[in-house]
Amino acid sequence: MMRSKLFVPAIRPELFEKATKSGADAVCFDLEDSVAPARKVEARDHLQSYLRERQSIDQPLLLVRTNPVTSADFEQDVDCAVWKSISAIVLPKVESAEDVRASADIIAKFERSRNLPAPLGILPTIESPRGLRFAAEIALSSPRVLGLQIGFADLLEPLGVAQSNVAARNQIRLTLRLAAAEAHLDCYDSAYANFKDISGYEDELRASRSLGFVGASCIHPSQIPIANRVFVATSEELVSAARILEAAAQAAQKGVAVTSIDGAMIDAPFIRRARKLLGKKDY
């Protein structure tokens, strides 16, 4: 789970090592939107040099956002990105299961050439109405898929929907969460452009957490502690989850599937959520 994922332009090598010490759960080196077309080659050179030297996989997780699989840059981006230190490819503007499978084939080619011990994950980003419509198929398209991520800027702009439209954003989040649930995957929220708007960013994250999201993108280090705080269980939630599991265990000993705490019914969905919150596989 990645509560916070810090984006770093791949054209800024002076920020690479600093980003890994930022406190983010993951660092995503960006070869897409933050790199001008004329500087793609330069950015890949910087990033490949850094990744080749960094052999271990540790905290934070290291990811690379490539250009779309349909772009002329994609295969060169993958050549740059597939190294032992990378955990996953962030795949932008995914619109179909075939986009994921095509990217997986290209990634696999470079994994074989470098004898990587384990396959890299893929984190598809949903950034269009078509992508949202096929989100469930995308989630189920490959065992490499680690979750689904939303990209509001690209998705909302062509529709004429204001980026500030809370109802629209929440409807999209819920649609994506339902799609990811079919594949038992997590969802990650979009970047929030105004990094000086601390309260606005926190409101966005709390809305996404209430809809089952587990993390979000950060475009500035100041956003990292906010994401890390919002997407972690509170002490009250942990105490409540422990009480639910204890009550469920007592009920199970009596052969009862449904019980209650303080007048509230406790059954299988509540128990599953409590287990997940506490990281438990059983009672």
Q: Does 58 show up as a binding residue in the annotation? A: no
End-to-end CA distance of the chain: 22
Residue pair 224/191 in contact by the 8 Å Cβ criterion: no
Which stretches does DSSP call E strand in the chain? 4-9, 26-30, 61-65, 88-91, 121-126, 147-150, 186-189, 215-218, 259-261, 264-266
Q: Does 73 show up as a binding residue in the annotation? A: no
| Cα separation, 152 vs 208, whole angstroms | 13
Reduce the DSSP state of residue 265 to 3 states and report it. strand
Residue pair 107/100 in contact by the 8 Å Cβ criterion: no
Q: What does the angle CA 109 – CA 53 – CA 68 come to, to the nearest 5 degrees?
A: 40
- CB burial of 224-243 (b: ≥16 within 10 Å; e: otherwise) equals bebbbebbeeeeeeeebbee
Q: Does 112 show up as a binding residue in the annotation? A: no
Q: Which residues are annotated as a binding site for Mg(2+)?
A: 127, 154
Q: Which residues are annotated as a binding site for substrate?
A: 65, 127
Q: Which residues are annotated as a binding site?
A: 65, 127, 154
